[in-house]
Amino acid sequence: MDDRPYDLLVIGGGINGAGIARDAAGRGLSVLLVERDDLAAHTSSQSTKLIHGGLRYLEYYEFRLVAESLAEREVLLQAAPHLVEPLAFVLPHEPHLRPAWMIRAGLFLYDRLGGKMTLPKSFGVRLAGSRWGAGLKQGFRRGFVYADARVDDARLVIINAVDAQALGARVRVRTRLVRARRVEGVWRATLQTDDGKSEEVVARALVNAGGPWVKDVLNSVTTEPMQANVRHVKGSHIVVPQVHAEAHAYILQNADNRIVFVIPYEERYSLIGTTDVPVDEYQHPGIADDEIDYLLDLVNGYLERRLGRADIVWTYSGVRPLFDDGSQDPSAVTRDYVLKIDAEYGPPGRAPVLSIFGGKITTYRKLAEQALADLAPFFPGMKPAWTRGAPLPGGEMPRDRNAFFARLCAQYPGMPADLLRALARRHGNVATRLLGDAKTPADLGPNFGAQLTAREVDHFVVNEWARTADDVLWRRTKCGLSMSADERARVAEYVAVRVGAGVHQ
């Protein structure tokens, strides 16, 4: 029984729940975050992994969203340079799909809408015979290059939760909100852990960050049927061995007006996606055969080396919980977010519930600020916004990753460069805390493969809420991609022993 009354009970440990928990804890609120699975187990680890303005949203006149996203791109590049990295995108010119003037006009806006930027401005390039056309068919002669950024989406969630906890929030995984009722001006919420135990907690306000389950969560806290609607649009990705050795990504146009990205991924792979498939209610989002065909057909129209099903090494799919703005076309439904606060009990009443519809990884920090601005009337003593300019855990390092990596190599000359690179990318400056006084790889315990050591797995279990092999292999890292089945099984055994020993939080 947790008999402490909390200010905020946040339901959902995706990027939005974790971001709100962090922001609220830093403003002095007492916060409990509950996630029924693992942190980032759903949409927030299944994205295209871009911190971007969204060039294509300009076609839908989403200027507010694009401007805010571009400005946030700049904020996140500073706050978490280990996880958010600039990336050049090449758009091969296809005059019959979009004329050059239209693309130039879009890029002109894209370069400017976010205000002052540190990333380079867009420019035109020759593709044939140049590195900008690497891996493409010879027929593509000209293109455009613009800057955006990519992110390790799952790790971004985790470091937000880590920071929330450091600021006093309590984070509980494998804990589901079953129901909540208003009793005498506060929420009494029933939680259930994955071993079947139930308990009740008290909170002054609820944040419903249930992602695709936002409606289900709201239905479990009110007796009124929910009015606002959420649209579920599935998006799938395939991962193949890298299609070219250059550092840039491609943004490829399709005749159906959609675009698909081909992004360098985890050093040796290319990530290809995504699709837009409306689904009625939330279903297990595995990739369908026709989505694979769609992605392969599209990229094979551009790539020199034909890709087939046998090239696919991994797939994943997620469901976008979009706010229903009435659009017919699933690609056109707004990617902007809408926050709804239960008005019936709004100020001067008590026990509000704030629900989140839509949004992007890119805008999570602004969304959290907006959520807390909406909740401010209920917490008059709450401190002001603070997250803009505040580094995330691991992010106190130079923005130039190479400089940081060189420093780490100098500090740990007995460690292989690949291992240090993997740690630097995942942990930023927390890597030095993790390495401590280790001098050689042997000091880090068994190496399970793909540069994953027992020391790092312990860190995930003790400090980052990992409970299963999947938590480690597919969310805290992507080592699962490069490991054999035997190696993955060894990780599973090790995690089970450590969790069994009770070292986890």
Ligand X SMILES: Cc1cc2nc3c(=O)[nH]c(=O)nc-3n(C[C@H](O)[C@H](O)[C@H](O)COP(=O)(O)OP(=O)(O)OC[C@H]3O[C@@H](n4cnc5c(N)ncnc54)[C@H](O)[C@@H]3O)c2cc1C
Distance of closest approach, residue 210 Cβ to ligand X, in angstroms: 4
Is the CB of 163 or the CB of 456 nearer to ligand X?
A: 163
Rg of the chain taking only CA atoms, in angstroms: 23
Is the CB of 165 or the CB of 362 nearer to ligand X?
A: 362
CA 417, chain centre distance (Å): 27
Cis omega (within 30 of 0) on the bond before 348? Answer: yes
Distance of closest approach, residue 60 Cβ to ligand X, in angstroms: 16
Is the CB of 50 or the CB of 423 nearer to ligand X?
A: 50
Q: How far is CA 85 from CA 41, 66, 77, 399, 502, in A?
A: 22, 19, 7, 9, 36
Is the CB of 271 or the CB of 420 nearer to ligand X?
A: 271
Distance of closest approach, residue 177 Cβ to ligand X, in angstroms: 4
Q: Read off φ and ψ for residue 234, nearest 5 degrees.
A: -75, 145
The residue type at 450: A
Distance of closest approach, residue 324 Cβ to ligand X, in angstroms: 15
Cβ burial of 353 (10 Å; 0-12, 13-18, 19+) is buried
Distance of closest approach, residue 111 Cβ to ligand X, in angstroms: 19
Strands (DSSP E) contained in 93-138 are 123-126
Instruction: State the Cα–Cα distance between residues 161 and 10, nearest whole angstrom.
Output: 12
Distance of closest approach, residue 300 Cβ to ligand X, in angstroms: 21
Distance of closest approach, residue 294 Cβ to ligand X, in angstroms: 13
For residues 294 and 199, the answer to whether their CB atoms sit within 8 Å is no
* Cβ neighbours of 209 (radius 10 Å): 30
Distance of closest approach, residue 138 Cβ to ligand X, in angstroms: 30
- What DSSP character marks residue 490? H
Distance of closest approach, residue 207 Cβ to ligand X, in angstroms: 11
Is the CB of 208 or the CB of 429 nearer to ligand X?
A: 208
Is the CB of 42 or the CB of 476 nearer to ligand X?
A: 42
For residues 273 and 235, the answer to whether their CB atoms sit within 8 Å is yes
- What DSSP character marks residue 124? E
* Cβ neighbours of 34 (radius 10 Å): 23
Q: Are strands 337-341 and 353-358 parallel, antiparallel or unpaired?
A: antiparallel
3-class DSSP state of 73: helix
Task: Spell out the SS3 assignment of 141-178.
Answer: CEEEEEEEEEECHHHHHHHHHHHHHHCCCEEECCEEEE
3-class DSSP state of 375: helix
Is the CB of 29 or the CB of 209 nearer to ligand X?
A: 209
Q: How far is CA 181 from CA 9, 228, 305, 374, in A?
A: 13, 20, 58, 21
Is the CB of 9 or the CB of 434 nearer to ligand X?
A: 9
Is the CB of 84 or the CB of 136 nearer to ligand X?
A: 84
Is the CB of 21 or the CB of 127 nearer to ligand X?
A: 21
Q: Which residues bind ligand X (CB under 6 A)?
A: 11-17, 34-37, 41-44, 46-50, 176-177, 209-213, 217, 235, 274, 318-320, 356, 359-362
Distance of closest approach, residue 34 Cβ to ligand X, in angstroms: 5
Distance of closest approach, residue 216 Cβ to ligand X, in angstroms: 6
What is the token pair recorded at 163?
């920071």
3-class DSSP state of 136: strand
Is the CB of 251 or the CB of 423 nearer to ligand X?
A: 251
For residues 364 and 207, the answer to whether their CB atoms sit within 8 Å is no
